[in-house]
Chains A and B, each alone.
Chain A
Amino acid sequence: ETGVTQTPRHLVMGMTNKKSLKCEQHLGHNAMYWYKQSAKKPLELMFVYSLEERVENNSVPSRFSPECPNSSHLFLHLHTLQPEDSALYLCASSQDLQPSTDTQYFGPGTRLTVL
């Protein structure tokens, strides 16, 4: 596998379920990101990790819980979501957070539907 992969690609869950989204990057990068892409809204940055430490938590509700066990993997744990959380969740990675080397490369996304 090359680049940034995300699983599952599609997920349907009820409001009481607990599920997790997985992201894996094969680029040797040290920084990883979660974004939310909703219909008719610009992409929203949710979380930023650098060397497995959270750098940014962009006022995201606690029902979204990120985990970065190592620099290649990033998870987004979901629980008691709301229908308005239905969106495309995109993962990205970059070499690091320096301006000259922080170009972000995106995965294909997980399409989440909350019933």
Chain B
Amino acid sequence: AQSVTQPDIHITVSEGASLELRCNYSYGATPYLFWYVQSPGQGLQLLLKYFSGDTLVQGIKGFEAEFKRSQSSFNLRKPSVHWSDAAEYFCAVGARTGGYNKLIFGAGTRLAVHP
């Protein structure tokens, strides 16, 4: 069955430090992969997506993610974190079913940023 695992429930980093959020997926075919961010009381905002091609994907707000098929991973990175990046981050895989891509979400990683 398709699934997404985000091993870290909470992560705390200092402002200006680098960040890597982990995501592992289980899916038999070529995956469509997404990262979304959710600020408190808000909906989900798309950060970036991978459909095919270059395995290093650039997104908004200075984020990037790398697709590694051999490791079934799609980790999110940012070289220097800003206080405004504090939010919850969700990785998702699009599983083709019934004629559409059903998004399977991970449980999320909550990011706290220390000044």
Contact = CB atoms under 8 A, between A and B. Distances in A.
- Place the interface of chain B in its size category: 20 to 34
Given A6-B43, A90-B44, A108-B43, 16 more contacts: A40-B107, A41-B107, A42-B104, A42-B106, A42-B107, A42-B108, A43-B90, A50-B100, A55-B99, A90-B43, A99-B51, A103-B46, A106-B36, A106-B44, A106-B45, A108-B41
Given A45-B102, A56-B100, A106 B94 contact: no
B2 to A, nearest CB: 12
Contacts of A55: 98-100
Contacts of B90: 43
Please name the 5 residue pairs, one residue from A and one from B, whose CB atoms are nearest each other, closest first: A97-B100, A106-B43, A106-B44, A108-B43, A43-B105
- Place the interface of chain A in its size category: 20 to 34
Interface of B: 4, 32, 34, 36, 41-46, 49, 51, 90, 94, 96, 98-108
Given A99-B94, A108-B43, A56 B102 contact: yes
A99 B99 CA distance: 9
Nearest to B102: A45
B16 to A, nearest CB: 29
B5 to A, nearest CB: 11
A61 B41 CA distance: 26
A108 B44 CA distance: 7
Interface string A39-55: 01111010010100001
26 contacts: A6-B43, A42-B4, A42-B108, A43-B90, A43-B103, A45-B102, A48-B100, A50-B100, A55-B98, A56-B102, A90-B43, A90-B44, A92-B44, A97-B101, A99-B51, A99-B94, A102-B100, A103-B46, A104-B46, A105-B46, A106-B36, A106-B45, A108-B41, A108-B42, A108-B43, A109-B42
